[in-house]
Amino acid sequence: MDPRDEKTSELVVAPHGDRHMDEDPLARPEKTWWERSWPTFACGAGLWSDGYLQYVIGTVNTILSDLYPDKYAGSTYSQNVSSIAFAGTVVGMLFFGYLSDHWSRANTLMVSTVILFIFGALCAGAYGAGGSLTGMFTALTAYRFFLGLGVGGEYPAGSVAAAESSGELEEGTRHRWFILFTNFQLDLASVASSLVPMIVVLACGENHLRAAWRICLGLGVIPPLSLIYLRMKLKEPEEYSREKMHKFPAWLIIKFYWKRWCVVALIWFIYDFSTYSFSIYSSAWLKVIIGDSAPLWKTLGWNTLINVFYVPGSFLGAFMSDWYGPRNTLAFGVFVQGAIGFIMTGCYPYLDTSHYVAAFVVVYGIFLAMGEVGPGDNIGLCAAKTCATPIRGQYYGTAAAMGKVGAFVGTYVFPVIVKDAGDNVARQGQYPFYVSSSLCIFSAFLAYFGLPKISQDTITHEDARFRDYLESQGYDTSSMGTGTRDPR
């Protein structure tokens, strides 16, 4: 027997399993498909706004660099504006992860939605006293940090609640719906974050870029506003109402989950280290390949085409996760991504010309698509379903925070990697792919040998396994639960 499967065999045998199975939400025929699925949608769809507001800053950076080449391009302002939201996101993930376990999933989601709306609007209206450019850049940086707090809140509260709500969906489809309502939304947002600026720049004209960048940021506040109504109707997920803790035995939790958490967090760190850095700097790289004489909208158009590759990758990965399991799908996707990355490093001197820009976009797009098939789709799912409900917000939030630390580090390390290549333009493009591809191969082995098998009912069985462990350590589990479960 595969020793990795022994971990998961423990998940299906537990004295509390019968109680959970008797309360299977699927046993309630009066609920329609929409009644079962809309909580998952309402919880996860906020990630569209997160993705748009995170990714669009790469294009806004390009626009601001064109507008203010002396004061902004290549300055610390440019670097801080693109990366400071990651710092806010880390704080938000940790804080809201704690709140979602100790307070409420639904209320935490509402707070993060309001923060997204307020600071998204402030970013679009950033202004320096007396028209000061440095004041405007400083204000934009500060607003981006607080925006990150709201972005961070969506992850531990939204994704965790979506995972718990997906238990009401048909068995055999639960992984895909979780992914389609979470990571797939991020990927749709990545397309919008380059398509919308291209349309805005074409509509405004390159002589009115001051209006264009503000419009691009301002459009990101519409989705959070539209989600407020749905989220006001949200109730606490049944799993959360049944399993909520009031006293957290920290040492017992750490002893039980630290190895599994380390694997999830490290994979997430590596994935975000590469993905967010590539997404932020892709516009600048394309501009170098296409040439300075090309209009801005053309650079944005090619960038849109690159981001489109995320979508089929994420869509395919959602179904593969149900068919082959999240662990196997993650390992396969990231291994193939690494192999393609090494191919790109060898071909980069030929791809790095305006004549072969289409070939560059296609190969690079496939590289990104395989990242979505693997960790893009499945690392969040693994984080949400490899731990018990009472600590899921903190487990997920801290693991996701490690991912964002990776993204934050990547935005600073990638320019250093490029700089180490010297004046050789080909090597400036090759070095980042060497680093990322090596990390991809490492992640594939880490996922395959380090993650447990995740079934359709893993959440229910993991809760039972965790209860058994706590009871074996003398913890009183009779106090768990909110006492306010939905009688339906």
Rounded distance, CA 21 to CA 15, Å? 11
41 burial level (CB within 10 Å; 0-12, 13-18, 19+): middle
Please state the rounded mean pLDDT for residues 159-181.
Answer: 85
Report the pLDDT value the prediction gives residue 352, as an integer from 0 to 100: 64
Rounded distance, CA 477 to CA 444, Å? Answer: 37
What is the tens place of the pLDDT at every residue in 339-357?
998 888 887 777 666 677 7
Nearest to 330 by CA among 161, 449, 180: 449
Residue 21 pLDDT > 70, yes or no?
A: no
Q: State the Cα–Cα distance between residues 459 and 21, nearest whole angstrom.
A: 12
Average of pLDDT values for 31-41? 71
The pLDDT-based confidence of 82 (bands split at 50, 70, 90) is: confident
Average per-residue pLDDT in the chain? Answer: 82
Of the candidate ranges 170-179, 220-229, 270-279, 428-437, the one whose mean pLDDT is the lowest = 270-279
State mean pLDDT over 242-262.
91
Q: Give the span between the Cα atoms of 393 and 350, in whole angstroms.
A: 46
What's the one-letter identity of residue 437? S
- Those residues whose C-beta lies under 8 Å from the C-beta of residue 337, and which sit 6 or more positions away, are 367, 370, 371, 374, 437, 440
Domains and CATH numbers, the chain: 3-477 (1.20.1250.20)
Q: What is the mean pLDDT of residues 62-82?
A: 82
pTM for this structure?
0.84
Tell me the average pLDDT across 138-160.
89
Measured distance CA(249)–CA(256) in Å, rounded:
11
pLDDT average, residue stretch 449-475: 90
Confidence class for position 262, pLDDT limits 50, 70, 90: very high
Q: What are the counts of helices (DSSP H) followed by strands (DSSP E) for the chain?
A: 22, 0
| Predicted local distance difference test score (pLDDT) of residue 337 | 92
**Is pLDDT larger for residue 180 or for residue 281?**
180
Whether residue 127 is predicted with pLDDT greater than 60 in this model: the reply is: yes
Our CA dihedral for 332, 335, 337, 340, rounded to 10 degrees, sits at -120
- Distance, CA of 299 to CA of 281 (rounded, Å): 12
Q: Is 59 or 332 the better-scoring residue by pLDDT?
A: 332
Q: Dump pLDDT digits (tens) for 99-108.
A: 999 998 888 8
- Give the pair of three-digit tokens for residue 455: 């079934």
What type of residue is 69? P
Confidence tier at 447 by pLDDT (50, 70, 90): very high
Query: What residue type is assigned to position 67 of the chain?
Result: L
| Closest by Cα among 192, 184, 190, 193 to 159 | 184
Distance in angstroms (rounded) separating the CA atoms of residues 236 and 484:
9
Token pair recorded at residue 50: 């997160």
Contact 179, 281 (CB under 8 A): no
Tokens of 481: 């639960």
Alpha-helical regions (H) of 219-353: 222-232, 238-243, 250-290, 296-308, 310-324, 326-351
Is 389 in contact with 459 (CB distance < 8 Å)? yes
